[in-house]
Amino acid sequence: MSTRGLWVFVGALIFIGAGAFAERPVLLLMGEVMVGVLAISFLLCVVAALALDRRFVSIVCADAEDDKLRHISTAVRGEEKQLHIVIRNDAWIPLYGLQLKPYASEFLAFEDIPEHFHIPSGVRSALTIAVRAKRSGRWCLHGFDIYAADPLGLLITRDYLPCTHAMEVYPRSVQALGVGFKDTGTLARRHGTQRSRQRGGGSNVRELREYHPGDPLRNIAWKATARAGKLISRDYERDVDFSVYLLLDISTSMRGGQWQGQKLEHGIELVTEVAEKLCRARDRVGLMTFDEKLYGHIAPGASMLHLGHMLRHLVGVGAIVDPDFCEWSDTELVTRLADYLMIQERLDFRRTEPVDPDTGVNRDLLERWVRGTLPGDMARYDSGALRDGVVVNPPSALRQFAQLRGLAIPYRIEARLGLKERGLQESIEKVVTSTRSSQLIVVVTDLCGITSIDLLTRAIRLAKLKGHTLHFLVPFTPAYHDEVNGDEASKATERYHIARELFAIPEREERLRIAGNLRELNVRVDFLKPGQTAMQFLGL
């Protein structure tokens, strides 16, 4: 019952009570009329509730120009993005007083949506809603809680309608790029003159080799390609053969900070900054992401297309579903998927036999349904952000479905001590074995969870023996827990400052110990704070 309906109900009680006490038929009649109005409003509201429950009303995200369905759109962190929402009323009655409240990832913040609009029967209504992303990554809008009222606005009914739409949010540093983003998630050049230093160019052909993704198309040797039956690329002599490998730590500790994921977000900004500068200068740059093992690997390239591959991979590290990296077991995932499909698709996999005793779900039926639905979801929601550069085993059908639909599977909550160095060792050794020329290896990691330097020592010595140079950029954890504005500082108590200082002292000592071991191996280590850029330390 709305506020207006509550006043009508109270008024009816007052008139009926006063009429009965004073024996005034007129007052009784007025009270009965108000009760009758409420009864009619109730019937109309029930009909609207049935229309919503039977999903004669649908909501989709469409293109503003031609009303084509859009399943994926791109945005930049912190910038406002406009989504074009179309509501279709196929019910036999008009809908009044509609209100929409989005249900989406916690990292999507929606502006206020216009309320109290009316959609006649058989009519489509469109509106534009604004959304801002708090973090880079792949986040999803799942649907809307929708409220409808009777024509007088006395009673309100509520239901949920699905509207699955994925948003691929790129780091804020892409605003400085000379490229723009299309809604298909690809990079497109902006028109205009761009100046850059051509460090890697040359005119003498050094060799012919197999084409690697990211190589400039102008370097393809078409005659050799025709003879070999596969793409062959010319490798030119370079005036300065400059190549960089970027290694990004995506572990649990990197996903902390003053706000969730702050250190990882800073790391993504650093990697994007360096990759853009090198690709613009036609210098080769590669990317690896790691935790306890290598997660992603994009071989070095030197084009803006190659930069797009790296950016999409960085967007995808927010949507990891591999069981070695994530918190939920397969049993927990089945339970959550059953809850999700109950709401999103109105499918109840708990009411059919046989039921799995661990989950209370007909697991076989659920898996068959997911496998049957997966090809359609792949066509609608799959993109390079989920596939580019990922080297781990392909996810199971259930995990792939959850990834496509944006069902957030928590990343591993606790870091296992002594295992992160294995992933870092594997990444450094992969650089050594996959490249012949010397590389500048830039490692962005907070060094948290590294207990033994022995594994790293062997990998670093091997890399330096092969002529590679290593540079560690280390986000210093306590610096990412400082107050960010005066309001928060005024709320902080003396106890908070003492606790933070007690946390910072051992953190500083542990990080300095590991940094000292690395520096003994002639490796440069620089500690970072929020807001600092990679160029302040790399000198590229």
Question: Tens digits of per-residue pLDDT, 327-380?
Answer: 888 899 999 999 999 999 898 998 888 888 888 889 999 999 999 999 999 999
Q: Are 179 and 304 in contact (CB under 8 A)?
A: yes
User: Strands 284-290 and 294-301: what pairing?
Assistant: antiparallel
Q: Which residue's entry shows tokens 């250190």? A: 263
Q: Is the peptide bond before 394 cis (omega within 30 degrees of 0)?
A: no
Summarised one tens digit per residue, pLDDT across range 448-467 is: 888 778 888 999 999 988 88
- 326: Cα separation from own chain's centroid: 15
**In the structure encoding, which two tokens stand for residue 169, read together?**
């949010």
Start-end of H helices in 245-328: 262-280, 304-316
Q: What angle do CA 46, 52, 55 make, to 5 degrees?
A: 140
DSSP 530: T
For the segment 91-116, the average pLDDT, to the nearest whole number, is 85
Helix (H) or strand (E) holding 473: strand 469-475
Separation of alpha carbons 349 and 362, rounded Å: 5
pTM: 0.80
The Cα 540–Cα 523 span in angstroms is: 17
Model confidence pLDDT, tens digit, residues 131-186: 999 999 999 999 999 888 888 878 888 889 999 999 999 988 775 444 445 444 44
- Is 473:528 a contact under the CB 8 Å cutoff? yes
The pLDDT value given to residue 184:
40
Residue 486 confidence (pLDDT) above 80: no
Residue 86 or 493, more confident: 86
Bridge partners of 165, per DSSP, are: 141
Q: pLDDT at residue 39 above 90?
A: no
Region 267-276: mean pLDDT is 92
For residue 433, the surrounding DSSP H or E stretch is helix 420-434
Cβ–Cβ under 8 Å, residues 367 and 330:
no
In 3D space, the residue among 443, 408, 532 whose CA is nearest the CA of residue 251 turns out to be: 443
Mean pLDDT, range 307-331, rounded to an integer: 90
User: Any idea where the domains of the chain sit in the sequence?
Assistant: 3-52, 173-228+242-318+414-538, 330-405
Task: Using pLDDT thresholds of 50, 70 and 90, give the confidence band for residue 270.
Answer: very high
User: Confidence class of residue 62 from pLDDT cuts 50, 70 and 90?
Assistant: confident
pLDDT at 151: 83
**pLDDT value at residue 114:** 73
Asked if the model's pLDDT at residue 212 lies above 80, the reply is no
How many percent of the chain have pLDDT more than 90? 25
Beta-strand relationship, 243-249 and 284-290: parallel
d(CA 1, CA 18): 23
Rounded CA Rg of the chain: 29
Q: What pLDDT shows up at residue 232?
A: 85
Identify the residue with better confidence: 383 or 507.
Answer: 383
- The encoded tokens of residue 449 equal 């969870």
Q: What is the pLDDT of residue 297?
A: 94
When pLDDT is cut at 50, 70 and 90, the band that residue 227 belongs to is confident
Q: Is residue 505 scored above 90 in pLDDT? A: no
Task: Say what the pLDDT of residue 186 is.
Answer: 47
Per DSSP, 91 falls in state S
- Confidence category of residue 311, pLDDT binned at 50, 70, 90: very high
Report residue 194's pLDDT band, with 50, 70 and 90 as the boundaries. Answer: very low
Bigger pLDDT: 206 vs 106: 106
Question: Which pLDDT belongs to residue 211?
Answer: 79
- What residues have CB less than 8 Å from 437, skipping those under 6 apart? 241, 243
Are the beta carbons of 95 and 118 closer than 8 angstroms?
yes
Please determine, for residue 506, whether its predicted confidence score (pLDDT) is greater than 60.
yes
Q: Rounded distance, CA 79 to CA 132, Å?
A: 6
Confidence of residue 10 (pLDDT cuts 50, 70, 90): confident
- pLDDT tens-place string over residues 407-448: 888 988 877 777 888 999 999 999 998 887 888 999 999 888
Task: Give strand pairing partners of 210.
Answer: 232
Rounded-to-integer distance, Cα 6 and Cα 38, Å: 10
Largest CA distance in the chain: 109
Q: Smallest Cα–Cα separation from 49: which of 195, 125, 209, 156? A: 156
CATH match for 173-228+242-318+414-538 among 3.20.20.70, 3.40.50.410, 3.40.250.10, 3.55.40.20: 3.40.50.410
State percent of the chain over pLDDT 70. 87
Identify the helix (H) or strand (E) that includes residue 370: helix 363-381
Paired tokens of 66: 């031609």
